[in-house]
Structure 1
Amino acid sequence: MLSKKAQYAFKALMYMAEKKENEPILIAEISKKKRIPLKFLENILLELKKAGILESKKGKGGGYFFKVSPKEVSLAKIVRLIDGPIAMLPCVSLYFYERCKNCDEKQCGLHDMMVLVRDANLRILEKKTVADLTKKIL
């Protein structure tokens, strides 16, 4: 399940991607239009900036804008950045692997099934981008 933070991140990124020009957008505008608490949004956008997805400009005409095209930002990247692992179990995670306690992965049916679930999710999340979220039909 996506956290509220991830949902807000996607709402903000969709709003920014829908703008025709890549001009800076004020945090207050995004917050008001998408009904995201301002302080929460500030933290989210700062994380996205640190990850190299967004850039910001200070002063008059300032705000946040995409550092890279929304067409280049996979949904998987945002989910991992905001929520961490995409996998439902730590023993099947590609980037956040942890061995499960008291479990033999080679003979665990749950492990095998969750690998299939992870791979199915990744086929979609790594292929689709923030730009795809602005289209009516995926």
Structure 2
Amino acid sequence: MLTNKGKYGLKAMVHLAGMQPGQPALVSDIAAANDIPKKFLDAILGDLRNAGLLHSKKGRGGGYVLAKPAHEIMVGQIIRILDGPLAPLACASPNYYRRCEDCVDESTCATRLMMVEVRNAIARILDHRSLAEMRTLAHLDEVPMYHI
């Protein structure tokens, strides 16, 4: 499940994707426009900056800008930075795998096998949709349906 940190981070990144290239946005403006607590947003944007998705400039004319074009930033990347693995269980994660202590046989564990399918379906969408595409969704009358 997406946490508030992930949700607010996505909202902020969509906001920044709407700025003119190179035009910085102040944290206070992003927070006000998206109804995000400013102090929480400061931490979120810091995490995204540390991960290389944002650049920041202090002082007059400063703020945050995307570190690369919105079409090169995948939604799954943002969520992993802010919320961690996409898999609902650690045993279903390819990158953060951790065996469940109570599991007798992973190869026949129905819960694990289902959660691997869930993780793969989520990743198929989030890792192939860019921030630019996400921004476009907000301007469409209909949200596209995915057939998996």
The TM-score, its normalising length taken from structure 2, stands at 0.88
The one-letter amino acid of 2:67's match is K
The one-letter amino acid of 1:40's match is F
Unaligned runs of 5+ in 2: none
Alpha-carbon distance in structure 2 between the residues aligned to 1:54 and 1:101: 38
The one-letter amino acid of 1:71's match is H
The one-letter amino acid of 1:75's match is V
* Superposition deviation, residue 52 in structure 1: 0.2
Counterparts in 2 of 1:1-138, with a 5 A limit?
1-103=1-103, 104-136=105-137, 137=140
Alpha-carbon distance in structure 2 between the residues aligned to 1:39 and 1:124: 30
Number of aligned residue pairs: 138
CA RMSD of aligned residues (A): 1.2
Alpha-carbon distance in structure 2 between the residues aligned to 1:117 and 1:14: 25
Alpha-carbon distance in structure 2 between the residues aligned to 1:73 and 1:96: 21
Q: Deviations over 1:51-72 (max 9, x none)?
A: 0000011121100001111111
The one-letter amino acid of 2:18's match is E
* Superposition deviation, residue 102 in structure 1: 2.2
Alpha-carbon distance in structure 2 between the residues aligned to 1:21 and 1:74: 18
Unaligned runs of 5+ in 1: none
Q: Deviations over 1:20-78 (max 9, x none)?
A: 33311111111111111111010000000000000011121100001111111111111
